Structure 1
Amino acid sequence: MGIPFHSIDNQSFRQLVEAIGQFGPGYKHPSQYLLREPLLKQEVERTKFSLKKHEEEWMENGCSIMTDARTDRKKRSIMNICINCKLGTSFLGSIEESMEAHTGVYIFEFVEKYIIEIGPQHIVQVVTDNATKNMAAVDLLKVTQPQIFWTSCATHTINLMLEATGKLLKFSGILEKAKALTIFIYAHHRTLAIMWKYTKKSDIVRPGVTRFATSFLTLESLKDKKDQLRLMFTSDEWRKTKLRSSVKGKSAEATVTSISFWNGVSLALNVFTLLVKVLRLVDGDKKPSMAFLLGALKQAKEDIKKSFKKQENAIPILKIIDEKSKGRLDSPLHYVAYLLNPFFYFKDSSISNDTNVMNEFLNCVEIIFATDEEMQSTIANDELLKYNSKSENFGRKMAVAAYEKVDVYHDFDPVGWWSNYGGDTPNLQKMAMRFRSLTSSSSGCERNWIQFEEIHTKKRNRLETSRLNDLVYVKFNANLVKKRE
């Protein structure tokens, strides 16, 4: 009832018309007041009820809180907050912060309000981007909620890796030439018409969610249309244009006919594709990604080495990955999730000998069970040893086959594996189940801005913040429930 009419999809629109039709010709539509106040509040309550399964999942296996801020069409600074569990990301609420300084204290107080509302015992982590103001709230959280971790957004971090890699000398020239080529083609209707003729109306510019994603997708598109572009710049149509003799025209033709340019495009894609693969893993909502992040990143580093004939040429890229990961993708949660994923742990013996992994596991146990030394000892000195040695159910043939017969890491279900075979180590099993169900990014919270933009249009830009919050709550969460069903 509170969803803006123009944002209803076709199926919902048909259902709405059918429902109205059932009342017959005498039906009187509700007043604007009823739609904006009591009926909207009823819809908010109904939506809350539909999220009961999500609440049950929070209580069973824990959840993550995510927050993000943005300026809306009225130049109001709005911070929103979402909650993620294995069933998906749901919207909790938002606050207008135009009159407040964006300090770590302010962000901390906003987040802690929802932590207390949900219950600190159900929350494993808070995920934000890497902005300084967000990081400033970490120390405050450690004081009041020491058992809750504050984690950097993996999507944001990997985007930083890609951008820094794109600035390396061996890649920056290729990206600049590709950019100049596409700008030249799209800047002139004649060149665009010729390109469309040879690509059969297919474009070479493919927009992405970030500036680098757009550059990467455009490189992919250029490579796919390499032969068509070469035909274009050797065609009679091109020879007859005055643009061919211009400085930019000569540069575009030289780029397309250059063997070294296309070799550079292939090399760039070989490297970028490996990191983009990890980006897509952590940026998606299909399954929790914390269990796979470090293993996927390690595999990407190994494959990057193999993409160069001389492995020393990969060193600058690997250095960027390590530098961007430091302080962002090396929290106790990341290492414990890596350690307790049998797909990686039992296929790579070096993990058990990695000092960082083991130290962070012990740190994590001490943080979670800070007041229970007996539990700390049970997990570290008994249950972890059983897992490490594959004793009891961990050593069953079917348990081993579950991860050995899977070639691709994201096809493996670590939560199901621990549910089936972790019964002999109940405390470690509970830890694994909670950490396996975690997201590693705040992307779901960022995607929620789409709902804000659909509702807060130019025609509806006088919406009060509270009503905007309720409308977004209904629309975003209704889509989640519909997707789940």
Structure 2
Amino acid sequence: MFAMWERSNWWCLQTEGAHSSCERNVASCRLSNKEDKEKCLKVLLEVKSKKIQKRKNDAALRAQVNINKDSVVEEELGQRKGPHFQGPMDNFATTINPQATSAGQKRQQSLHDAISKEKTNQVHQYCARWIYNSSIAFNAIDNDDFRLFCEALGQFGPNWQPPSQHQLRERLLIEEKQRTKEKLKDLEEEWEQEGCSVMTDAWTDMRRRSIFNHCVNSRSGTCFLSSQDCSKESHTGQYIFEYIDKCIEEVGPLKVVQVVTDNATNNVAASKLLKEKRPNIFWSGCAAHTIDLMLEGISKLDGIAKIIDQAKSLTIFIYAHHRTLDMMRSHTKKAEIVRPGATRFATCFLTMQSLYEKKGMLKNMFGSEEWLKCVLSKSVKGKNFI
């Protein structure tokens, strides 16, 4: 009874074990005893109880939301009246006090506006609370897909049920992937008419896996196509060439104009193999990687290397002590002197630029009375910055 089963047979196994309450579904297992049946029945009842409790919790949670009922509406506006139909005699009658009628309409309109504003604020509070509790970035509120979701939710009306986690990771994800593929068809038509560039990049994730990305760039932008775990392989020129050649075949050899990679030695070797097989396709080095190599070479020059070391010593000293860090932020109006870049060498030069821009502020800091009274100003490293 406890052998392996498929998902479709799961209910049969459950009812077979708990046959005492499900005799109409399947025959009893001859190998099961009373204890086995009680265990299975207990599991079934627990699952059922959890579902019932979840429905109750959801209902109680939804009952907490109440933005439609408002005593002010009933008190000020009263019960809604049916439409007023004009008769023949209305053409010969006029309003006794037109100003009173106009004032009443304006008052009713202002009440509607106030109530609508209050309801909007209540909805905003629920939305904000969900964003805060879920640690969602604030700029996500400007996403067009989120606005479309809000519009669809408003058109649906009350009693909307959110998707389950299973639906998000299974059916809805598959449908969204298919929708994305459909949107790529327009790009593929552009690739065929105007050509495109195949871009590959290798990176290492948090689990130390080496992953190759495959992207395609055209006039309309860049789109990600696939990735591959290459941890088991040696990243030789031959291996990279075979991977790039496979990517070209996937896109279409007649659509690809050039291949873009970084300027590593193995990629240069792969470019030579690519030129032999596909002479009509250009190979180009990544501009960002080229600039990074230039910055690396500049940072190794004697005069520049000394300045970078001094800048590192200063930033390390300031950020290593909470007292100096607080003084620095006080003098720079809470601005940071370290400016992280996309690469290590870009960070060095961006930080030096930041130090140059805040040179006067840092001079005032190390010349202030607060710094002179600080214990760190008497240290060996602290004296070097005076």
User: Where on the TM-score scale, by shorter chain, does this alignment land: which range?
Assistant: 0.5 to 0.7
Offset from partner CA, 1:228-258 (integer Å, 9 cap, x none): 11111111111111211211111122xxxxx
Contact 1:67 1:80 in 2 (8 A): yes
Q: Distance in 2 between matches of 1:47 and 1:36?
A: 16
Q: Which amino acid aligns with 1:119?
A: G
Distance in 1 (CA, whole Å) between partners of 2:284 and 2:186 is 25
Distance between the aligned counterparts of 2:296 and 2:234, measured in 1? 29
Quick one: which of 220, 241, 244 aligns to 1:87?
220
1:374 aligns with none
Q: Which residue of 2 aligns with 1:127?
A: 260
CA distance in 1, matches of 2:358, 2:147: 41
Q: Which residue of 1 aligns with 2:353?
A: 220
Determine the structure 1 residue equivalent to 2:236. 103
Take 2:222 and 2:289, find their aligned partners in 1: how far apart are those partners? Answer: 18
Deviations 1:434-460 (A, max 9, x none): xxxxxxxxxxxxxxxxxxxxxxxxxxx
Residue 209 of structure 1 pairs with residue 330 of structure 2: no
What is aligned with 2:188?
Answer: 55
The separation in 2 between residues aligned to 1:168 and 1:123, in whole angstroms, is 40
| Structure 1 Cα separation of the partners of residues 231 and 312 of structure 2 | 37
Which residue does the alignment assign to 1:76?
A: 209
Measure, in 2, the Cα distance between the counterparts of 1:30 and 1:67.
36
Matched, 1:9 2:133: no
Residue 74 of structure 1, CA deviation: 3.2
> Does 2:377 match 1:244?
yes
CA displacement at 1:94 relative to structure 2: 0.9
- Mapped to 2, the partners of 1:55 and 1:246 lie a distance apart of 64
SS at match of 1:200: coil
In the alignment, the residues of structure 2 paired with residue 58 and residue 41 of structure 1 have an alpha-carbon distance, to the nearest angstrom, of 25
The one-letter amino acid paired with 1:205 is V
Show the counterpart of 2:364: 231
Could you tell me which amino acid in structure 2 is paired with residue 111 of structure 1? I
Aligned partner letter, 1:185: I
User: Displacement of 1:103 after TM fit?
Assistant: 2.8
Q: State how far apart, in whole Å, the 1-side matches of 2:267 and 2:135 are.
A: 36
Which residue of 2 is the match for residue 148 of structure 1?
281
What CA deviation, in whole Å up to 9, does each residue of 1:114-159 have, x standing for no partner?
2123221221111111223322322332233221122221211121
* Structure with the greater alpha carbon radius of gyration: 2
Identity %: 56
- Alpha carbons of 1:33 and 1:103: their partners in 2 closer, same or farther (altered >3 Å)? farther
Q: 2:294 aligns with which of 158, 161, 168?
A: 161
**Alpha-carbon distance between aligned partners in 2 of 1:49 and 1:200, rounded to the nearest angstrom:** 50
1:288-367 alignment to 2 at 5 Å?
none
Aligned equivalent of 1:352: none
In structure 2, the CA distance between the partners of 1:135 and 1:217, relative to structure 1 (3 Å rule), is same
Change (3 A) 1:226 1:139: closer
Secondary structure of 1:99's match? coil
TM-score (norm 2): 0.59
Gaps of 5+ in 2: 1-133
Is 1:188 paired with 2:321?
A: yes
Higher relative CO (Cα under 8 Å, sequence separation at least 6) belongs to 1
Matches of 1:203 and 1:81, distance apart in 2: 36
Q: What RMSD in Å do the two structures reach over aligned CA positions?
A: 2.5
Structure 1 residues 99-119: Cα deviation after superposition (integer angstroms, max 9, x where no partner) = 333233332222222212322
Q: Paired residue for 1:344?
A: none
Aligned pair count reads: 250
Q: What residue in structure 1 maps to residue 179 of structure 2?
A: 46
Q: How much has 1:202 moved relative to structure 2?
A: 1.7
Unaligned runs of 5+ in 1: 254-485
Distance 1:133 1:26 in 2: 59
Secondary structure class of the residue paired with 1:65: strand
Q: 1:124 and 1:230 mapped to 2: Cα distance?
A: 54
After superposition, the Cα gap between the structure-2 partners of 1:226 and 1:26, relative to the gap in structure 1 and judged at 3 Å, is: closer
Deviations 1:34-71 (A, max 9, x none): 43344323222221222344323322322111001222
CA displacement at 1:170 relative to structure 2: 1.4
